[in-house]
């Protein structure tokens, strides 16, 4: 029982990171039906930004987290403006290929500018272990889970209660009708990219603190897993992305606990195949038949 509870704690900590990443995927897809495969690399940029803020500017964790969110929001908006906006009325395959190209550009650009070696993320706060009924949980794990939940709640409030959130929902339902009633499509899409990218930046800083290492290719695998989480929960649905992230995190830690660490990625991809076969719309998604 203690082992199960321990893996539950570890899975929730890791799953909250996947959930933050999956939210960026699901928001962008919900608005413009684009799978932004460069999203995992925005997460990597957030980790590197946090590294330099803490290591070079000698600031604490919280300024690193907030400035990483702002920086990644700007990078997300710039990427949308330069790479995706010119292709908005092109076939979807063109935008998808561009997203893959942007991903390689960010990965190789960071490798060229800063080297491809793994860097030790500075320990911005002392690690403390708490023992509750045989279960060990660190202050870093509590911090990650708490910050992730707060960010998810704030995101839900922005989408449901603000004017821009209403515009996002309107554009996701019918962009042409939204434009007819005076909604600025470009501004709404740009805001969506900024919002999703800021969450990825926060996830990057927290995962750097958690694993204590970063590198230019660190966003590739978590980015794909976050995409699986978004599909699992129901891509285009914000609550679904959060649920999918936690489920993937738990699956990964349980697989490691059972002694199959080498197959933890394979298990995640197997889940993707199964969910596409059994329930393509995801856990919270609804199958909608399109009339031809």
Q: Is pLDDT at 292 greater than 50 in this prediction?
A: no
pTM across the whole model: 0.92
Residue at 269 is within a domain:
no
24 within some domain:
yes
Q: Which tokens go with 131?
A: 């023992």
| CA distance linking residue 245 with residue 200, whole number of Å | 13
Does residue 31 surpass a pLDDT of 70? yes
Percent of the chain with pLDDT over 70: 97
CB burial class (10 A; 0-12, 13-18, 19+) of residue 244? buried
Q: How many domains, the chain?
A: 1
- Percent of the chain beyond pLDDT 90? 65
According to the model, what pLDDT value does residue 126 have?
84
| Per-residue confidence (pLDDT) for residue 287, from 0 to 100 | 60
Residue 130 domain flag: yes
Q: Does residue 107 form part of some domain?
A: yes
272 in a domain, yes or no? no
Where in the sequence is the domain holding 142, given as residue range(s)? 17-220
| C-beta separation of 32 from 236 below 8 A | no
pLDDT at 10: 87
- Confidence at 289, pLDDT banded by 50, 70, 90: low
Q: Determine, yes or no, domain membership for 45.
A: yes
pLDDT of residue 107: 95
Lowest mean pLDDT of 151-155, 189-193, 271-275, name the range: 271-275
Cβ–Cβ under 8 Å, residues 54 and 61: yes
On the question of pLDDT at 53 being above 80, the answer is yes
* DSSP string covering 137-206: EEHHHHHHHHHHHHHHHHHHHHHHHSHHHHHHHHHHH-HHHHHHTT--HHHHHHHHHHHHHHHHHHHHHH
Each residue of 214-234: pLDDT tens digit? 999 999 999 999 999 999 998
Per-residue confidence (pLDDT) for residue 257, from 0 to 100: 83
- In the prediction, which pLDDT does 32 show? 87
Assigned domain for 246 exists: no
**60-112 pLDDT per residue, tens:** 999 999 999 999 999 999 999 999 999 988 888 999 999 999 999 999 999 99
- Give a yes or no: residue 240 inside a domain: no
């Amino acid at each position: 029982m203690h082992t199960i509870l321990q893996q539950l704690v570890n899975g929730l900590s890791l799953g909250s990171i996947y959930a933050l990443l999956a939210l960026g995927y699901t928001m962008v897809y919900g608005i413009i039906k684009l799978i932004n495969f460069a999203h995992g690399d925005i997460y990597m940029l957030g980790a590197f930004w946090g590294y330099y803020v803490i290591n070079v500017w000698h600031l604490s964790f919280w300024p690193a987290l907030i400035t990483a969110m702002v920086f990644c929001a700007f990078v997300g908006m710039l990427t949308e403006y330069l790479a995706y906006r010119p292709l908005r009325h092109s076939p979807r395959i063109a935008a998808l290929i561009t997203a893959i190209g942007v991903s390689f550009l960010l990965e190789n650009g960071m490798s060229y500018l800063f080297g491809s070696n793994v860097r030790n993320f500075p320990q911005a706060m002392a690690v403390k272990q708490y023992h509750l009924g045989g279960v060990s949980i660190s202050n870093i794990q509590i911090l990650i889970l708490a910050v992730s939940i707060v960010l998810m709640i704030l995101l839900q409030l922005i989408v449901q209660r603000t004017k821009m959130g209403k515009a996002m929902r309107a554009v996701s339902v019918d962009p042409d009708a939204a434009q007819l009633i005076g909604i600025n499509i470009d501004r709404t899409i740009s805001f969506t990219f900024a919002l999703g990218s800021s969450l990825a930046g926060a996830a990057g800083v927290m995962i750097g603190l958690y694993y204590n290492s970063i590198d230019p290719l660190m966003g590739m695998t978590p980015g794909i897993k976050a995409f699986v989480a978004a599909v699992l929960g129901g891509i285009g649905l914000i609550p679904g992305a959060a649920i999918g992230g936690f489920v993937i995190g738990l699956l990964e830690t349980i697989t490691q606990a059972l002694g199959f660490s080498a197959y933890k990625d394979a298990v995640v991809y197997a889940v993707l195949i199964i969910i596409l076969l059994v329930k393509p719309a995801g856990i919270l998604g609804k199958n909608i038949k399109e009339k031809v």
